[in-house]
Structure 1
Amino acid sequence: MLNRILIVIVAVVSIFLLFKFCEFKKEDDAILDYNTNLIQQQIVNVGKIVVTEGHFAEVITYKDQDDYLMGVVSFEKKAIVIVNADVTVAYDLHQMKYDIDEKNKTITITNIPKEEIKISPDIKYYDVEQSKLNPFTGDDYNKINKMVKDNLAKKIEKSSLKSNAKNRLISELSKMLILTNTMGWKLQYEGKVIENEADFNQKIKG
C-alpha cells in the first residue's frame, strides 16, 4: 500500500515538474521570439540610405590645335571651363545582408554595400576661341566632361568626404551594436565579434 502511495506521489511530482518545465520553455521561447523580432525591426530601422554631401569647384583651360601643311599652318581652339560640382557619397543599407543565429544569440553581418559616389557637375564655358577649320565639336565636350570627372574624382579621394561618409556609416551600424549588447546578443562582422565602435572603425576603414 505504501509503495503505491509513493508511486502516485512520484508520478504527481513528475507531472507537475514536467508541466512547469514546459511552461518555462514556452516562456523562454516567447522571449527569444520577441528579442529576435525586436532586433530585426532595429535592423530595418537602420536600413536606410546614409548620404554625405560635398561641393567642389575648379577651373580648367582646354586647348586643342589642328596642324596643316606639316605644321606650317595651325588652327587653335580653347576655352576656360569653370566647374561647380555637387558630390554625394552614399551607403544604401537596405542592401546590407546579415544572418540571425537565435540559438547562439548572434547576428552576423555578411555584407555591407560599397559606397556609391555621384558627381553632378555644372560646367560653364568662358573665353571660347575657335575657327571654322577647327570648331568645338561633341568630341571636345566629351573630352572636357571626362577631364572634369577625372579631376573631381582625384579631389574627392584627397578630401575628407569619403572618410566622413564612413564615419556616418559606422554611427548607423553602431545602433545595432547598442541594441545587441543591451539584449545580451553578439554582433559579428568579417569573423570578428564587434564589441565597440572602434572595432567597426577598424574593420570598415581598414
Structure 2
Amino acid sequence: MKTALIILLSFLLGAAAFYAFALPQDAEIKDEGTVLLEQVRKVSKLVTVEGDVNELFSRTQTRNVTLYLPLPAKFSFDKQASVEVTGKILVGYDLQKMDVAIDDAAKTITLSNLPEPEILAIDHDIVYRDLNESWFNAFTAEDYSALNKAAKDKLRADALQSRLMDEARAQGAAVLETIAFLAGGAGYVVVLDAGAVSQER
C-alpha cells in the first residue's frame, strides 16, 4: 500500500513538473522607461503629400581575420541582414522660412522667400527578415542602430527621387490659390515674391 502511494505521488509530481516546464508558457515582460523632455518649440509646417513605403533592404559586412595556425592564414567572415521597411513619408513646406507682409492701406498680402517642398518626417518600422552571422562577425547593438539609420536614409533618398516632391509642389500651388481666394473675399490681393504675378479673386 505504501509503495503504491509513493508511486502515485511520484506520478502526480512528474505530471505537474511536465505541465510547468515542458508546455509553452506565456513570457512575463517588464518594461521600464524614463521620458526626458529636452526642448519644446513652436513649428509651422504644412504637409501636402503623404506617401506609403514598403521596401526590402539588405546589407552584407565582411570581417577579415588573420589566424596563426601556426602560420598566418587569412579568413573572411560575413554577416548579412535582410530587413523589410514600412512606413510613411510626409512631404510639405516649412512655413517658418516664408516671410509674410500685410499692407492694410494697399490691401495686399505679400509672400516672399517661398520655400521648396521638403521631407518633413519619416515614420518607419523595420522587421528583420533574415540575419546570418559568423562566429567571428556577430551582430551588435551598434549594427542594429546602423541598419535602422541606413534604411531610413535610403527611404529619404528614394523619396527625393520620386514623384512625391512634384506632387507636393503642385499641392503647394493649390494651397496658394486657396489663400488668394480667401484673401480676395476679404478685399486683399496676394502678391508672390514681391513682384511676381499677383493672384486676385
User: TM-score range, shorter-chain basis?
Assistant: 0.5 to 0.7
Q: For residues 45 and 137 of structure 2, what CA distance do their matches in structure 1 show?
A: 50
Counterpart in the other structure of 2:91: 89
Q: For residues 145 and 65 of structure 2, what CA distance do their matches in structure 1 show?
A: 24
Count of aligned pairs: 151
Counterpart in the other structure of 1:63: 60
Which of 191, 196, 199 is the matching residue for 2:194? 191
Q: CA deviation at 1:81?
A: 1.5
Counterpart in the other structure of 1:174: 177
Q: For residues 120 and 188 of structure 2, what CA distance do their matches in structure 1 show?
A: 34
Counterpart in the other structure of 2:31: none
- TM-score normalised by L of structure 1: 0.61
Query: Secondary structure at 2:190's aligned position in 1?
Result: strand
Q: CA deviation at 1:180?
A: 4.2
* Change in 2 beyond 3 A, CA 1:130/1:183: closer
Q: CA deviation at 1:155?
A: 1.3
- Work out the percentage of aligned pairs sharing the same amino acid: 32
Matches within 5 A, 1:71-86: 72-86=74-88
Counterpart in the other structure of 2:164: 161
For structure 2, the residue ranges without an aligned partner over 5 or more in a row are: 1-43, 67-71
Q: For residues 127 and 116 of structure 1, what CA distance do their matches in structure 2 show?
A: 30
Q: Is the 8 A contact 1:54 1:86 kept in 2?
A: yes
Between Structure 1 and Structure 2, the one with more helix by share is 1
Query: Secondary structure at 1:192's aligned position in 2?
Result: coil
Q: For residues 122 and 45 of structure 2, what CA distance do their matches in structure 1 show?
A: 21
1:103 aligns with 2:105: yes
* Change in 2 beyond 3 A, CA 1:165/1:93: same
Which of 118, 122, 128 is the matching residue for 1:119? 122
Q: CA deviation at 1:79?
A: 1.8
Q: CA deviation at 1:53?
A: 0.8
* Change in 2 beyond 3 A, CA 1:180/1:140: same
Per-residue CA deviations over 1:11-57 (Å, capped at 9, x if unaligned) read xxxxxxxxxxxxxxxxxxxxxxxxxxxxxxxxxxxx88434210122
Counterpart in the other structure of 1:142: 145
Query: Secondary structure at 2:124's aligned position in 1?
Result: strand
Q: For residues 45 and 140 of structure 2, what CA distance do their matches in structure 1 show?
A: 42
Q: Is the 8 A contact 1:50 1:168 kept in 2?
A: no
Q: CA deviation at 1:87?
A: 0.9
Q: Is the 8 A contact 2:47 2:90 kept in 1?
A: no
- TM-score normalised by L of structure 2: 0.62
For structure 1, the residue ranges without an aligned partner over 5 or more in a row are: 1-46, 198-206
RMSD: 2.9
